[in-house]
Structure 1
Amino acid sequence: MSFCGCFLTALIILKLHFSASEHSVPPAPILTQTAVRDSSLELICQAPQGYGGLVFKLFKIRQQVDTVVHSTEQQSAHFMLRGKDTEKENLYCCQYENSMYSSYIQPEPNDVVSVSPPPSPHLKVEPSSGHVMPGETLSFHCQAPPDHQKQPPKAFLLLRRAAGTPGSMVAPAKLVSQSQEARFSVKTMGREDSGEYICLYQLKLPKTGQLNSTASQPVHITVIGYHSCTQASTGSTDMALIVGSVSAGVLFLMVVSLLGFIVHRHIKNTSERRRQREQEKFWQCVHSKDHIVDLTLQRVDIGSEDIGGMLRGRPTDSEPIYDSPMTTFMDPSIY
C-alpha cells in the first residue's frame, strides 16, 4: 500500500474515532466568573441547555482543585476562589460528570470586584397562599427590574434553600432573549418540597462574563398532608391523633377487662362443676359400701291354751320345763 493510502486510512480511522467520541461524551460546559464579597471570586460552571449532572469539577490547569456534588441532577455549580487562587496568572476550566472540558479562563479580580450585583427580581407564586397538596404543581413567576442599565437578562434561576444554605436549583435555568421575566413550573412530590424559594437572573457582561443578580425576596411553600388544610390544621390533626390514641387505649382496656371477667367466670363455674362431680362421686362410693340389715320382725303364733298356761305358770310346748329349777344348783350329786 502506498504512503497516501496509509495516510488516508489513518485519517478515516481517526475521524470515526472522534465521531464516536463526540456522540458518547456530553458537550463542554461554559465557565464564567462573577463577583462576591470580601474580594473573592465565584466561578460558575454551566452545562448546555438539556444537559446536567450530579458532580461538577474545577481544574487549575490539569489539577483538580474543587468538587461540587448535588443530590439531584443540576445544570450548574458554583466554585469559590480566595487568596492566591484569584491571581490572574492562574488558568481554570471545569467539567460536569464525564463531559468535555470547558475553555480556560483567567481570574480578573480588579474588574470583577468593581462590579456590583444587579438589583433583585420580584418572585410570585400560584397558588398565592403557598399551601399545596402532594402532586400539585406550583407556578413561579420571576420578573427582573425594567431596563437595568439597558442590559437584558440572559437567564433566570429558581432555587430552594434552607436556613444557612445558598440554595439548590429546583428547575433548569430558563434562557431568555430580550425578556425581563420567566416562569417555572414545579410539581411537588411530598413535604420535602416545602421551604423557601428564591429566584435570580444572570447578565452577560463584556469583561466579567456572567454576573448573578441578588436574590429575590423568598416565598414560603408548604406541602401539606392529605388530611390537613393549614400550620393550625397540623395542630388540630395532632390533637385528633392524641384523642384517637387515648380512645383506642381506653377501648382496649375495656375489652381486656371484659375478657378477664368472662375468663374468671368460666374458670369459677368450671371449678364449681368439678367440685360437685367429685362430691357426687364420693357419696356414690360411700353408698355402694353400705350393708343392709333386715330387721323385719316375725310374728310367733301362740295358741290360746298356751297363753293360759303361761299365765298360770305352766310351761308351754315352746319352752323347756324345769320341775325344780333350783335343783341343779342345790343338789351336790350333780357335781
Structure 2
Amino acid sequence: MNINVALRARTPKLHFTRLCLSTARPCTTLPEPTLHVGRRSGASVSLVCRTAGGRRGREFALYEYREKVDSRELPSDASEVHFNVSVNEGDSGSDRLFCCLYKTKRGCFSAFSPYLKLEQRDVAPPPPTPALPPPLLSVEPPSGAVSRGAVLSFSCSVPALGGQSGSRPGPEGDPPTFLLLRTPERAGAPAVALRPQASRAAGAEARPGVFAVGPVTAGEQGAYSCMYQISKDRGAVNSSVSNTVRVTVSDAPPAPTLELQLQTDVWRLLCTGSPSYPGAVFSVYAADGELPVDTRRASATEHRARFPVPVQNATAARYQCQYSVQLGSYWSHSERSAPLVLTKEISPTPTPAEPAVDLPLVLGSFSAAVLFLCSVALAVVIARTQVKAAAEKKKKRQEAQFWSQVHARDHVVELTLRRSSFSSQEWVGGGTETTPTTPPLWNPLTTFTAPLHPR
C-alpha cells in the first residue's frame, strides 16, 4: 500500500495534509467542493458542503480554520451534506472561517473548499414582532372644514376594540400611548407629533386617544394621522400609521345673496358676494346637491355673477349660490346663500329689480366729487394769488418808473444877487431913507427857473 502525502495552500496560507490511500489504482485529484450558508434558524446556521462535477462522496468533514469541528459518514454516496453551526452573540466581532472536504467510497479525498467567512448578518435575526393593526382616526366636524378660532376634536381608536377610543393593554396591562401627527400644507415641511389632550366632561374621566386642537389658526391646516405605541420587553413598539384626515382652516367670506333678475326680457339668477372680494368664482347649487349646477368667474372688478335659469323638471326647485376666493395658497369658500324657490308653470312678472345701493360705490363717487371740488378751489386760489402778485409787481414797477423820471429832470434855479454894501457918501447922507427891496421868493421844489415875487 502506497501512501501519498500532498500539501494544499489556501488563503490565509495554511497547509493541510491530505492522505490518499490507494490500492492497485492510485486516486485521482477530485475537484474541490463548495461551502455556502443554507438555512438560518435562531442562533444556528446551516452550512451546506456540496460536491462539484457530479461527484458523490461517502464521508464529509467540516473545518473551522485548522480544526475539524464536524464530520458526517453516510450509508450511501451523496452530493451534499448540511452542517449546523451554533453562533453566539459574542461572536459578532470575530471572523470565523469554515471549509470542507469529502471522501469517496474508494477512500480518495477531495481538495479543501474555499474558505467561507461567517458574518453576523448571516445569523438569523430574532423573530419579528407581530405587526400592530393601524388605528382609525376621525375628526369632529367630519368634513374637517372649520373657520379660524374653532376647536377640532380628533379620536384615535384601535379597530379591535370596536371603534372605541380606548386602550389596548400591553404586556403589563399598561394602556398604549397615542400620537397625533400633522403634515403641514407647505412642501417639504416635517411632520409634527402632538400629544393627546384628553377631553374632560363633567364627572367623566379622561379618555386616551382623544385630541383637542384649537382654537385653530391657519398653521393648524394640513393632513392629520395617528399611531399608537405599546411597551414591550425590548422597548416601545409602534403601530402602522392610520388613515389621513385633511383639515382646512379658512376665514369664510360673508354669505352671498341670490335673486331672480329680469335682464333684457330674459330671467337670470344674480349671485352677489362681498365687495371686498372682486373676481371671485361663483357657483350655483341645487338646495340638496353637493355638486354645482353652474360655475362662473366674475371679472376682476365685479363681485357678482349672473347665471341662466337652470332647466328643471320639477314644479318648484330651490337653488343656492356660493363663491370662493383664493387667499394665499388655499381657497376660502363662503357659506351658501338663502334658498331661492323657482316655480316652473307660474312665474310672476316682477318689474325689473332696482339695483341695490352699492354703498362702497356711493362713497367712492362722493369722495371723488369732493376731491374734484377741492382741486378746483385750490386751483382758483392759486390763480387769484398769482394774478394779485402780478398786479402788485406791475404797480410797483410803474411807481419806480415814475419816480425815476421825476428825479432824472434837471433842477436849475436862477438867483438874483443884489448889492448890499453902501458907499461912504450914501452912508454919510444917512438922511435919505433907503427902503430895502424885498428879495424874490424861491421855492426849492419848483422846476421853474423864474423867481416868484410876492403879490
TM-score by length of 2: 0.29
Structure ranking higher in strand proportion:
2
Higher RCO structure, 1 or 2 (CA under 8 Å, sep 6+): 1
Structure ranking higher in helix proportion:
1
